[in-house]
Amino acid sequence: MRAYFSRSMIWFAAFVAVFAVTLSTVFAMSGGARPNLASSPTPNGIQRTDLVVFGGTPSGVSAAVSAARLGLKVKLISSTGSIGGAIANGVAATDGTMYPPTGFAKEFFARAERFYPDNVTLRIEPHVAEAIFMGLLKKAHVQVQLNARLLGVEKVDQSISCVKFSNIAKQCAATFVDASYEGDLFAVAGAKYRLGTQDLYSYGESIAKKRIMHTVVRMPTLSDLERNSFKELPFVASPTKFNSHKADLTKGMPSFTYRLCLSKKNKIPFRPALEYKKWIPAWKVLLKSLYKDGRCPQCVVAAYGTVLTKLWRIAELPNGKYDLNSHLGLTNFPLPRAYFGLGKSRHRIDRLALDYLESFLYWLQTDQSVPAFESNALAGMGLCADEYRGNRHLPYQPYIREGRRLVGKYTLTTFDIFQSRSKPESIAYGSYFLDNKSSQLIFANQAIYRDMTPFMLPPTYEIPYGVMVPQKGPDNLLVSVGVSTSPISYGSIRMERQFMGLGQAAGVAAAVAAHTNTKVSTIDVSRLQSALEDVGDHVRLSDLCQTIDFFSRAQQGFSPFTCEPRVLKN
């Protein structure tokens, strides 16, 4: 019996050895060693995993799911009470690009189409978007943590070892991805960054020289009450002296707003803030000046049901809902610099923006002086009663169109967008408009001003891996939202479908680094490109051109015969 047991153990040991050799061979053939998967939680509540993704945005979900599908144990951490970022918090009428979605983005929108078989406009209810994102995370076995308050990081040499929070356990990992809109993680980790328009003229971009301070509306002589009311408007500067032709356009800050979900059916009435009456004199003069000739040529119901007024773009969503978007730009606010600290200022600023916006809508609905074009567009509307139930039916986070921008190993400029469109280390596409929102709102000289860049549609271009990799800083950190670009170029990058592509590249890069026992800062990008192709995410313009018919290629900046990207003027 003892001899039989010994022989059994010998055979078992031999089987284990052969299995181990076979497994090693499989991983070697696939291009790398077996990744070190996460261990169990350690004493003192420290959580160890392979990848920590900070930011519950679509880009963060894409990174987390993509890495988990390739064998990594992943933790997704959101600083807010929701998952899905802008798409799940009001940007329900999502914008398209010149190319069809690929990879994770294609999968997300395909799932959305199952909810709305007749919806061809990329419009989705916020709670449905969040449910899709959560379903993808659950299926990939990604752990999710909401409402985490970032404190800082711990480092070992040039790598982040752990991220510290004030209200949850310390999170430790081999690799980290900052997929937040604000760029908080890479900032506290010591990576260099740019903020606002401080580097507007640093890249020799001709279009940057075309940015101007535009007069939004000029008003008649104001009374002291009206003038003081304008000075009370939040997020609007009121300098004592101002010359719009000599304005310093490098002092702008990133733009943000709230995209509210509205409904005429299952709704909650707008509620004004206690202090809203001090803003009314300014609102009255503003609306009277905007409609001084009594006409509104742009006030129409456009394609797909979008209602246009001088103030709003109100996009129709499924099930009788609407996405409220600013049209004139007066509710696209410049973020105060204090927003980019880690203290209580951010919550206070968010609250002020929500109070101001909801009060403005209440006044537009109820005041008899409001022009009919505006009041009729909002007639009968309120907040969607079945959205954001845990937050007074208001989005859990604002729509931040730009936060910190990483100083990366490569900085994308308009030269890359219009001229040098192909990149050896391409990991994603871009093709959205150069659409830079106001970085300054100014009341002076009885007028409202905002800075503007020409609105342009670029061709499809390739985004290189280096925009996600810090030039100096942690070697195990990638950035998938606050990527390294010029201020003008970020106006084209900042679109959720493209953020999903960058997130997928970050998640797959983390898996490649794990399989090859390297850092994400030094991986073989050709191996990453192959891995992205394997999961259905195309990254080469030559592949994209092959999907376009002969006659459409020239319109999208390709040679019809060779598919070579053409050099275009910006």
> Is 149 in a helix, a strand, or coil?
coil
Phi, psi of 306 (to 5 degrees): -70, 130
Average pLDDT on 30-34 reads 31
Going by pLDDT thresholds of 50, 70 and 90, the confidence category of residue 44 is: low
Whether residue 508 is predicted with pLDDT greater than 50 in this model: the reply is: yes
Alpha helix stretches (DSSP H) within 89-223: 103-115, 126-139, 184-188
pLDDT at 567: 85
Residue 270 structure tokens: 């707008």
Cα maximum dimension of the chain: 106
Whether residue 41 is predicted with pLDDT greater than 50 in this model: the reply is: no
The predicted-structure confidence for 212-258, as pLDDT tens digits, reads as follows 999 999 999 999 999 999 999 999 999 999 999 999 999 999 999 99
Whether residue 271 is predicted with pLDDT greater than 70 in this model: the reply is: yes
More confident residue, 2 or 355: 355
Going by pLDDT thresholds of 50, 70 and 90, the confidence category of residue 296 is: confident
pLDDT at 119: 63
pLDDT at 475: 98
pLDDT at 47: 80
The predicted-structure confidence for 392-440, as pLDDT tens digits, reads as follows 999 999 999 999 999 999 999 999 999 999 999 999 999 899 999 999 9
Whether residue 11 is predicted with pLDDT greater than 60 in this model: the reply is: no
pLDDT at 383: 98
| Strand partners for 143 | 75
Between CA 528 and CA 533, with CA 529 as vertex, the angle to 5 degrees is: 115
* Structural domain boundaries in the chain: 1-30, 43-195+404-411+472-538
Average pLDDT on 542-548 reads 84
Whether residue 1 is predicted with pLDDT greater than 90 in this model: the reply is: no
Between CA 191 and CA 194, with CA 192 as vertex, the angle to 5 degrees is: 135
Question: DSSP secondary structure string, 325-382?
Answer: EESSSTT-EEPPGGGGSSSSHHHHHHHHHHHHHHHHHHHHHH-TTS-HHHHHHHTT-E
Residue 544 CA to residue 542 CA, distance in Å, equals 5
pLDDT at 17: 40
The answer to whether 478 and 469 have CB atoms below 8 angstroms apart is yes
Average pLDDT on 168-197 reads 97
Helix 496-516 crosses helix 103-115 at what angle (to 10 degrees)?
Answer: 130
DSSP-derived secondary structure letter, 542: H
> Is 152 in a helix, a strand, or coil?
strand
Between CA 129 and CA 136, with CA 134 as vertex, the angle to 5 degrees is: 100
Average pLDDT on 318-326 reads 94
Whether residue 15 is predicted with pLDDT greater than 70 in this model: the reply is: no
Going by pLDDT thresholds of 50, 70 and 90, the confidence category of residue 304 is: confident
Residue 502 CA to residue 179 CA, distance in Å, equals 9
Percent of residues, the chain, with pLDDT higher than 90 = 77
Alpha helix stretches (DSSP H) within 123-201: 126-139, 184-188
Contacts of 147 (CB under 8 A, 6+ apart): 78, 79, 80, 81, 167
More confident residue, 5 or 300: 300
Q: What's this model's pTM, rounded to 2 decimal places? A: 0.90
Question: DSSP secondary structure string, 515-534?
Answer: HHT--TTS--HHHHHHHHHH
Residue 249 structure tokens: 């356009």
The answer to whether 464 and 526 have CB atoms below 8 angstroms apart is no
Whether residue 133 is predicted with pLDDT greater than 70 in this model: the reply is: yes
The predicted-structure confidence for 330-384, as pLDDT tens digits, reads as follows 999 999 999 998 778 999 999 999 999 999 999 999 999 999 989 999 999 999 9
Sign of torsion, CA 131 135 136 140?
positive
The topology under which CATH files domain 43-195+404-411+472-538 is FAD/NAD(P)-binding domain (3.50.50)
Instruction: State CA 176 to chain mean position distance.
Output: 18
DSSP-derived secondary structure letter, 93: B
Whether residue 505 is predicted with pLDDT greater than 50 in this model: the reply is: yes
Whether residue 174 is predicted with pLDDT greater than 70 in this model: the reply is: yes
The answer to whether 174 and 39 have CB atoms below 8 angstroms apart is no
Alpha helix stretches (DSSP H) within 367-475: 372-378, 414-418
**Cα-based torsion angle of the residue sequence 291, 294, 300, 306 in order, rounded to the nearest 10 degrees:** 20
Q: Using only C-alpha atoms, what is the Rg of the chain? A: 26
Average pLDDT, the chain: 90
Residue 218 structure tokens: 């000029």
pLDDT at 45: 65
The answer to whether 267 and 384 have CB atoms below 8 angstroms apart is yes
Residue 373 structure tokens: 């074009």
Going by pLDDT thresholds of 50, 70 and 90, the confidence category of residue 299 is: confident
Going by pLDDT thresholds of 50, 70 and 90, the confidence category of residue 557 is: confident
Residue 334 structure tokens: 């410049």
Whether residue 126 is predicted with pLDDT greater than 70 in this model: the reply is: yes
Whether residue 5 is predicted with pLDDT greater than 60 in this model: the reply is: no
Residue 33 structure tokens: 């060693």
Strands 193-194 and 405-406: antiparallel
pLDDT at 450: 97
pLDDT at 25: 31
The predicted-structure confidence for 75-101, as pLDDT tens digits, reads as follows 999 999 999 999 999 998 887 776 778
pLDDT at 26: 29
DSSP-derived secondary structure letter, 436: P
Residue 138 CA to residue 135 CA, distance in Å, equals 5
Contacts of 460 (CB under 8 A, 6+ apart): 97, 98, 99, 421, 429, 430, 431, 541, 544, 556, 557
pLDDT at 121: 61
